[in-house]
Every structure is written in structure tokens, then in C-alpha cells.
């Protein structure tokens, strides 16, 4: 699923990585625990999270995660967004809660990371 | 004939205690170095995740220390060493899910007690030596040929 399709499904704002809209995502994982993210991350994974910290970006960089979706209307501050620049990480923000955002992507055919 | 173990790169990175905003910077640097050396990306991910968990442990629980990277032609060795306070019950600390993290650390997404399990899963060998009042030394080995 292309990131631009993720954007449409979640009615999301692009916070960083505008140039990555045609990038293909192959699975997704939702969590606010970064050690779990480090355990499960594989492939071209989208991370859905309600966490809003520098460590989310660093976790994505360490685990080669190309897409972070901030749920529940959480908008990271400029310092966090800047940290993603130049790292091939796209940041999206949606007002949907975690449950609904995950459900919409699942219904649209994006599989969980455990099926990869 | 035995192949020779050749040191290709070594560097030591300081890790400051308590600063969660900058935590993980040493691991990100290590990842970039391994990438520049042309090492396989799945292997780099294993090393990076283990380093990051070790670095987060050091930032959250220790008085600070360093992470030393040694890259050989056939393996990578990572030594994460802090200067205290040490772990009183290492066996308990290694148990999956065991954590003494503060509410602040939990609110930042860490402290679920998964760090050591992740480090063990990602590395090919793992050793920990800890003494209360002195510090903790974690030695990790990653076999390049085994990737």
C-alpha cells in the first residue's frame, strides 16, 4: 500500500517526508511500547503510535521503519519532526484513535507485521 | 588453515545518564559506521537494535558509561560498560518483563522489561558482569558469517 493511500484512508496530515508518497508499505504495527516495536519491526513497516518523543524517531531509524503515523491528534514538536529529516522516514498525523486507525488500514488490506 | 581475525574498525562512544532526548545517538552513529563499511543491512539491524537497548538501559538506569564498537572481518563486538550503580540481582534483571522503570520512563515508551530479551535475541553471544557499587559490563558478539 502506498503512503499516499494510507494518508487518504486515515485523512492524515503529512508532517515530514512529502517526497515518499509513492513509497510502498507492506505491513503495520501499533504500539506505544518502543521495546515491542524493536522486537517486531521487519520489512517496510508502518508504525502507528500515540507516543510523541524523540525516541520514536530514533527507534524508527534503528529498526529501518519508513513510516510513523501519530494517532489521537498527537502532533510532535518541531524538534521531533526535524529529527526525521534526511532519514527516509515519513511522518503522518491523524486525529483517529489507535483502534480506528489500525482497523481502517487492516480493512483496506494492509496486513499486520506478524503475517510478513 | 585458520582464517585470520582482522580488526577493521574500533571506536568508543560516551553515553550520558538521564538524558532521554539524546538517548540512542551512540547507536545511530554505530549503525551509520556499519553501513559505511558495507555490511549486510539485516546484520546491521541486529547490531543496532541490541546497541540501542543497551544504550537505553545505560541512560535510564546507570550513572553513565560508554559503548565500544569493534568490527572484525568475521564478527562485531560491542562492549557496553557503565560506572554504576550495578545490578544486585542479575538473574532477576534478565527476566523478560521485569522492570524497575519510573512512570516517566514508561511514558516515553521504555521500561517494559524487554531490553535484555531483545539484546539476547539479536546477538550471537551475550555476557553480563555486574557488581553493586562498581558497575555493569555487557559484552555482545555478532558473527558476520552467521547472518
For B33-42, the pLDDT digits (tens) are 999 999 999 9
How far apart are alpha carbons B43 and B56 in whole angstroms? Answer: 20
What does the domain layout of chain B look like in residue ranges? 7-143
What does the domain layout of chain A look like in residue ranges? 3-115
pLDDT, residue A65, reads 97
pTM for the full model?
Answer: 0.93
How far apart are alpha carbons A96 and A98 in whole angstroms? Answer: 7
Encode burial over B94-123: b for 16+ CB neighbours within 10 A, e otherwise.
beeeebebeeebeebbbbbbbbbbbbeebb
pLDDT, residue B147, reads 45
Task: Write out chain A residues lying below 8 Å of B52, CB-based.
Answer: 38, 58-59, 62
Query: Residue B107 — very low, low, confident or very high, per pLDDT cuts 50/70/90?
Result: confident
Task: Write out chain A residues lying below 8 Å of B115, CB-based.
Answer: 35
Residues 46-105, chain B, touching A (beta carbon < 8 A)? 48-49, 52-53
B28–A contact, CB cutoff 8 A: yes
**Of A13-17, A63-67, A107-111, B107-111, which gets the smallest average pLDDT?**
B107-111
Could you tell me how many CB contacts below 8 A there are between chain A and chain B?
Answer: 68
For B80-89, the pLDDT digits (tens) are 999 989 999 9
pLDDT, residue B1, reads 55
Instruction: Inform me whether the pLDDT recorded for B146 exceeds 60.
Output: no
For A60-113, the pLDDT digits (tens) are 999 999 999 999 998 899 999 999 998 999 999 999 999 999 999 999 999 999
| Percent of chain A residues past pLDDT 90, beyond the cut | 94
> How much is the average pLDDT of B51-61?
95
> How much is the average pLDDT of A29-58?
95
User: Which class in CATH covers the domain with range B7-143?
Assistant: alpha beta
Query: Residue B4 — very low, low, confident or very high, per pLDDT cuts 50/70/90?
Result: confident
Answer whether B100's CB lies under 8 Å from B78's CB. Answer: no
pLDDT, residue B3, reads 65
A62–B contact, CB cutoff 8 A: yes
Task: Write out chain B residues lying below 8 Å of A64, CB-based.
Answer: 41, 45
In DSSP terms, B139 is beta-bridged to B79, B127
Are the Cβ atoms of A58 and B112 closer than 8 angstroms?
no
How far apart are alpha carbons B63 and B102 in whole angstroms? Answer: 16
The CATH code of domain A3-115 reads: 3.40.1390.20
- Going B80 to B28 to B40 to A30, the CA torsion angle's sign is positive
B118–A contact, CB cutoff 8 A: yes
A82–B contact, CB cutoff 8 A: no
Question: Residue holding cell 523478560?
Answer: B96
pLDDT, residue A98, reads 98
Amino acid at each position: 500500500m502506498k503512503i499516499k493511500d494510507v494518508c487518504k484512508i486515515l485523512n492524515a496530515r503529512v508532517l515530514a517526508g512529502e517526497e515518499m508518497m509513492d513509497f510502498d508499505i507492506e505491513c503495520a504495527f501499533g504500539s506505544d511500547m518502543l521495546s515491542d516495536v524493536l522486537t517486531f519491526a521487519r520489512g517496510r513497516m508502518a508504525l502507528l503510535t500515540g507516543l510523541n518523543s524523540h525516541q520514536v524517531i530514533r527507534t524508527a531509524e534503528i529498526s529501518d521503519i519508513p513510516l510513523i503515523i501519530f494517532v489521537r491528534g498527537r502532533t510532535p514538536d518541531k524538534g521531533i519532526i526535524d529529527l526525521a529529516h534526511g532519514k527516509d522516514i515519513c511522518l503522518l498525523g491523524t486525529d483517529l484513535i489507535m483502534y480506528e486507525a489500525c482497523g481502517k488500514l487492516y480493512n483496506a488490506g494492509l496486513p499486520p507485521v506478524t503475517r510478513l | 588453515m585458520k582464517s585470520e581475525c582482522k580488526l577493521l574498525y574500533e571506536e568508543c562512544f560516551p553515553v550520558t545518564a538521564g538524558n532521554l532526548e539524546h538517548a540512542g545517538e551512540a547507536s545511530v552513529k554505530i549503525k551509520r559506521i556499519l553501513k559505511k563499511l558495507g555490511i549486510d543491512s539485516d546484520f546491521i539491524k541486529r547490531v543496532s537494535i541490541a546497541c540501542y537497548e543497551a544504550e537505553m538501559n545505560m541512560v535510564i538506569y546507570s550513572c553513565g558509561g560508554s559503548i565500544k564498537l569493534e568490527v572484525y572481518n568475521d564478527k562485531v563486538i560491542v562492549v557496553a560498560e557503565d560506572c554504576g550503580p550495578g545490578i544486585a540481582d542479575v538473574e532477576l534483571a534478565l527476566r523478560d518483563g521485569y522492570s524497575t522503570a519510573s512512570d516517566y520512563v514508561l511514558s516515553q515508551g521504555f521500561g517494559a522489561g524487554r531490553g535484555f530479551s531483545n539484546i539476547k535475541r539479536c546477538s550471537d553471544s551475550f555476557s553480563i558482569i555486574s557488581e553493586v557499587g562498581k558497575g555493569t559490563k555487557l559484552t555482545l558478539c555478532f558473527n558476520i558469517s552467521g547472518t
